[in-house]
Amino acid sequence: MERIRRRACHGLSPGDLLTGPPPLSPDQARAYGVYFETSPLYHHLNEVVASDSELLEVLNSIENPPRQNMLFAGVQFLLLKDQNHDLAAFYENLGSDPLPVRESGGPFRDFVLSRRGEIAEIGRTKYTQTNEPRRCVALVPALWATGTQEFHLIDFGTSGGLNLGFDRYAYRWGETTWGPKDSRVRLTTEMRGEPVTPHELMVLSRVGLDLNPIDVHVEDDRLWLEALIWPEHHERRERLLAAIDITWSVPTELVAGDALQTLVEVFDALPEGESAVVINSFILNQFGREDRRRLSRIVDEERLRRPVARISMEWLDKEAAGADLCIDVGSGLERIGLAQPHGEWLELYARP
């Protein structure tokens, strides 16, 4: 049985929302290296690509942005499926004693040119859908701040749905702990500002909406989520794999399609009068102003039928130190804090 409900998208695809830039010149490709500061391997390979016209051609064959992230994720995805190539020996996550990064250029070139067709296909059909469960260290206090106790959870832009099983993770905010103590996903954050104020939560149902939902029950989907993590980011990878295992056993529904359409249908299917919570995290940067307003209108209209709380964690101002954490229980979005995009720290503001 297919686990994902698919909805017509009226011609909309993730590529339409994530329209990529025109072909990159060597200098433009080189300049992207600043984003790979925390990955010595990708930083080096980015320079290798920028200096090689054939590799640059493969890079420019990738339709979905950001191209470099897609290229490196695509290569890692293929290596995760089959490590039988010299290139695998340079990945920290694929062996215990990786070879020096500076020697990786030749094997990388050989691998990419021999698999260029598959890489272009990945670059056309997959998307950078990182899903970071540690964001739940901010989403859970926001849930408490809404005052909602029993609710249907709707994750708007869910990727692999790893936020949907938030109550199966073990949390620590300073001295405060919450969640099953024996959970394999242990989430801690540096607390700034006000302390968290926990109360019990009861999730009645869990639905994830995405243009292209990633189903953790499908091996290729799991591998793609893993391939999006950079080789040196061991802690993120461990957390992701543990969260995938937990999400695997949580009853959730994934609905494919434009979430502005599917949200209305999902609301319609909920039992009359029961509360709902809609979460959007790290998706609205892919929405124009009018679509953001449309989301607010859909939620407001649903409030005529049931209590709906909204939680928003979005980093729309890249000059800001972190992502704005907001709640809306019917009187508009209220900023309740600021969070590091991967949940490394959380600052909660004092509230009346």
Ligand X SMILES: C[S@@+](CC[C@H](N)C(=O)[O-])C[C@H]1O[C@@H](n2cnc3c(N)ncnc32)[C@H](O)[C@@H]1O
Candidates 243, 259, 299, 325; binder of ligand X (CB under 6 A) is 259
* Total binding residues toward ligand X, as defined by CB under 6 A: 21
The reply on whether position 247 binds ligand X by CB under 6 A is no
Contact region for ligand X (CB under 6 A) — 88-96, 280-288, 319-327, 330-338?
280-288
Q: Of 105 and 160, which CB lies nearer to ligand X in the complex structure?
A: 160
Candidates 46, 64, 104, 129; binder of ligand X (CB under 6 A) is 129
Please report where in the chains the tokens 């959970």 appear, as a residue. 183
Q: Of 15 and 40, which CB lies nearer to ligand X in the complex structure?
A: 15
CA distance 120 to 165: 33
Q: Of 115 and 135, which CB lies nearer to ligand X in the complex structure?
A: 135
Q: Of 123 and 157, which CB lies nearer to ligand X in the complex structure?
A: 157
Candidates 157, 179, 322, 343; binder of ligand X (CB under 6 A) is 157
CA distance 290 to 326: 19
- The length of the chain, given as a count of residues: 352
**272 Cβ partners below 8 Å, 6+ apart?**
305, 306
Closest among 195, 201, 207 to 147, alpha carbons compared: 201
Candidates 132, 302, 314, 347; binder of ligand X (CB under 6 A) is 132
CA distance 194 to 209: 32
- Pull the structure tokens for residue 206: 């869990």
Candidates 24, 62, 185, 283; binder of ligand X (CB under 6 A) is 283
Q: Of 92 and 132, which CB lies nearer to ligand X in the complex structure?
A: 132
Q: Of 67 and 135, which CB lies nearer to ligand X in the complex structure?
A: 135
CA distance 159 to 194: 30
State in angstroms the smallest separation of the CB of 209 from ligand X: 5
Specify the DSSP element, H or E, that contains 102: none
Pairing verdict, β 345-348 and 334-339: antiparallel
Q: Of 17 and 99, which CB lies nearer to ligand X in the complex structure?
A: 17
The reply on whether position 308 binds ligand X by CB under 6 A is no
Cβ 112 vs Cβ 119: under 8 Å: yes
**292 Cβ partners below 8 Å, 6+ apart?**
284
Which 8-state DSSP code applies to residue 168?
Answer: G
State in angstroms the smallest separation of the CB of 72 from ligand X: 17
- Pull the structure tokens for residue 320: 């800001």
The reply on whether position 221 binds ligand X by CB under 6 A is no
Residue 174 backbone phi and psi in degrees, to 5: 60, -120
State in angstroms the smallest separation of the CB of 2 from ligand X: 18
Candidates 52, 92, 167, 210; binder of ligand X (CB under 6 A) is 210
Contact region for ligand X (CB under 6 A) — 222-230, 278-286, 293-301, 332-340?
278-286
- Pull the structure tokens for residue 186: 């242990």
Which 8-state DSSP code applies to residue 320?
Answer: S
The reply on whether position 189 binds ligand X by CB under 6 A is no
Candidates 46, 148, 159, 247; binder of ligand X (CB under 6 A) is 159
The reply on whether position 207 binds ligand X by CB under 6 A is no
Closest residue to ligand X: CB criterion: 157
Q: Of 90 and 127, which CB lies nearer to ligand X in the complex structure?
A: 127
Please report where in the chains the tokens 């020996």 appear, as a residue. 89
The reply on whether position 258 binds ligand X by CB under 6 A is yes
Specify the DSSP element, H or E, that contains 111: helix 105-114
- Pull the structure tokens for residue 272: 């009359």
Candidates 130, 183, 275, 296; binder of ligand X (CB under 6 A) is 130
State in angstroms the smallest separation of the CB of 313 from ligand X: 7
CA distance 147 to 84: 53
The reply on whether position 14 binds ligand X by CB under 6 A is yes
Work out whether the CA dihedral 37, 39, 42, 44 comes out positive or negative.
positive
Residue ranges that bind ligand X, judged by CB under 6 A: 14, 17, 127, 129-132, 135, 157-159, 209-212, 258-259, 281-283, 286
